[in-house]
Amino acid sequence: MLAPIRFALIGNPNCGKTSLFNRLTGARAKVANYPGVTVERRSGALTGLANPAEILDLPGTYSLFVTSPDEQVARDMILGKIAGETRPDVLIAVVDATNLRLGLRLVMELKTLNRPMILALNQMDAARSRGISINTAGLSREIGIPVIETVAVSRHGVDALRNILADHSREWANKPLADNTQTLSLSSIDELSRDDSIEELYKHIENIIAAQVIQPDEQPLWQDRLDSIVMHPILGLVVLFSILLVIFNAVFAWATPITDVIKAGTTILSAAITQYMPEGILKNFLADGLIAGIGAVIVFLPQIIILFFFILVLEDTGYLTRAAFLLDRPMRGLGISGRSFIPLLSSFACAVPGIMSTRTISDPRERFITIMIAPLMTCSARLPVYALIIGAFIPAKTVWGIFNQQGLTLFALYLAGVVSAAIVAWVMRRNQPRQEFPLLLELPSYRWPMAYHLLMGLRERVWIFLRRVGTIILSLSILIWFLCTYPGAPANALHPAIEYSFAGQLGSLMQPIFAPLGFNWQMCIALIPAMGAREVAVSALATVYAVGGNGSVNGGLDTALGTALTHSWSLPVALAYLAWFVYAPQCISTIAVVRRETNSIKATTYFAFYLFALAYFAAWATFQLATLLS
């Protein structure tokens, strides 16, 4: 049986590689890490070919002269220098047709490797709309490789690329590619590093563009006018914060109808079990353990979808790169730069990929600081905890006739994490030697968000959330139910049965430590499984209060839990619990990835200690101040 032919997509960041990858693989991708490194590896079966084929989506790079670990992985993969990985048989160089000059630099470097290669001119629809005309046949003759036009946002926009890959796969299937594979040296690349070679390369690229490309002298006027606003040092910040306010307001306002449907479904299911099942341990487990735990978390899925929808839209429109430029100057005052913006923004989804994406940062000290502050960005796993407590204690009133008071509270929590990250970064960098690494990013053209990309991104996030619900959260919910149920109360018990359980005993041991923060033993118990996944704090609280008999399912699971909290907690306690989750590294996965990325036990210990200490102090200060004011 023939080994699958390996294709590799390589190109500049924001050229549309991943969108092409999704089209070519049908979005059936396997995501893992490269052996020995934590850079994400995406691979998938190439559909529509007669012979078996695999395609890789390599990290974005501007050149084979690498400046970051991310780019190093892309180059090493091409050269076959990653242990345990077979080098690609064919390279598919993806170039943004609206910025051909920048993309051809990488293409000409790849040409020096004498590898089978195809050039995919992506975003051709955007190029035509801007009046750019490219003679693809002439460009192919000039470069000496096939050139194919693609539009990744279109359903049939990759048919030509798929056809040429299919034609070549028949040819390659009859050749012993692996037997002829030789380890490549960097001599051809090093040859290009000389100043005279670089100058000659750019002259050659300019001659190609002059002969084969007709393009307007300037980008559309409306794009310039829009940039003058969104990248203005003052107006740009106003626009950015306004966008964030709209997003956080929408998280509560838009999610309500779908959330109500999920609430109704869980309520009906729980009521049916309570009414029709006979009394016993199974009924107790299903009602108080399974449904109370899972239902209390899954109800927040619509809010998570809305948050990720906005992030994907901002990314597709080209706004996020401009935000990185906008924030570069104020971030440099804190000791980091605009390069840290994308990893920190990614951490709003999850700190794990955010920390992993710091490999694109050239300055080692800036990378270390970014890793240390990434968890202060409020990840989506905190959202169920925030939504539960805000919904229970903050009135759903409108402020200034526009903003929801609950949405403003959520915005304040996100802002607290950002401001704290800025202060921590400034303190860490204050006494460190400064190295200047100028921020060089290519501003993409503004474009409409790609519906296909949005749907695929949302589908992936929904699947990740549901998988966590069905594995980690389910397992921990069952564990919490067991700890809250056994052992039973003695015959002459003076207190509720749950206080004699394993959970009650453990909570009683922890409670004195957290007493200065106002936490009761139920709150302490929820912190333990939340180390596996922050969302489990909600299911743990639901299980503890359900087993303890402090809520009824008649009004809905989350309503019952919210009612139980308002009866058991004061407002200062609720605010202190929110403050704890703003800062605490309640995630084993995050701590583990910090260990891998820094390769230092000392750095990992420092990371965990300073965040737990910050969480304890913030919760204590919040509790004391709120108690004083109330």
DSSP sequence for 114-166: ---EEEEEE-HHHHHHTT-EE-HHHHHHHHTS-EEE--TTSTTTTHHHHHHHH
With 0-12 CB in 10 A as exposed, 13-18 as middle and 19+ as buried, what is 421? buried
Give residue limits of the domains in the chain.
Answer: 5-214, 240-250+304-430, 267-277+460-629
Nearest Cα to Cα of residue 364 among 331, 339, 391, 342: 339
Give the rounded distance of the alpha carbon of 524 from its chain centre: 29
d(CA 2, CA 309): 42
CA 495 to chain centre: 45
At 123-181, the pLDDT tens digits run 888 888 778 888 999 999 989 899 999 887 777 788 888 888 887 766 655 554 443 33
DSSP state of 469: I
- Residue recorded with tokens 């800062």: 583
CATH number 3.40.50.150 is the correct assignment for the domain at 5-214: no
What would the two tokens of residue 400 be?
């200034």
- As a dihedral over the C-alpha atoms of residue 536, residue 538, residue 544, residue 550, rounded to 10 degrees, the angle is -170
Decide if pLDDT at 193 tops 60. Answer: no
pLDDT at 311: 77
Tokens of 365: 């000290």
Question: Tell me, what's the pLDDT at 577?
Answer: 92
Question: Has residue 1 got a pLDDT over 70?
Answer: no
pTM (2 d.p.): 0.62
Please tell me the predicted confidence (pLDDT) of residue 94: 92
Regarding predicted confidence, which is higher, 398 or 513?
A: 513
pLDDT of amino acid 616: 94
Q: Say which range, 332-336, 591-595, 617-621, has the weakest mean pLDDT.
A: 332-336
From residue 552, give the alpha-carbon distance in Å to each of 233, 247, 250, 252: 53, 33, 29, 24
Asked whether residue 453 carries a pLDDT value surpassing 80, the answer given is no
Q: pLDDT digit string (tens) for 577-594? A: 999 999 988 777 788 778
Q: Yes or no: say if 192 and 109 are a contact pair by the CB < 8 Å rule.
A: yes
pLDDT tier at 334 (50, 70, 90 boundaries)?
confident
**pLDDT at residue 493 tops 80:** no
What average pLDDT does the chain have?
77
Q: Are 593 and 352 in contact (CB under 8 A)?
A: yes
Higher pLDDT, 184 or 480: 480
User: Are 13 and 67 spatial neighbours (Cβ–Cβ below 8 Å)?
Assistant: no
* Residue that is written with structure tokens 């996965």 in the block: 589
User: What percent of the chain has a predicted confidence (pLDDT) above 70?
Assistant: 79
Highest mean pLDDT among 414-418, 462-466, 502-506: 414-418
Residue 69 and residue 483: Cα distance in Å, rounded? 45
Is the CB of residue 442 less than 8 Å from the CB of residue 293? no
pLDDT per position as a tens digit, 47-100: 667 677 888 888 888 888 776 777 778 888 888 887 777 888 889 999 988 888
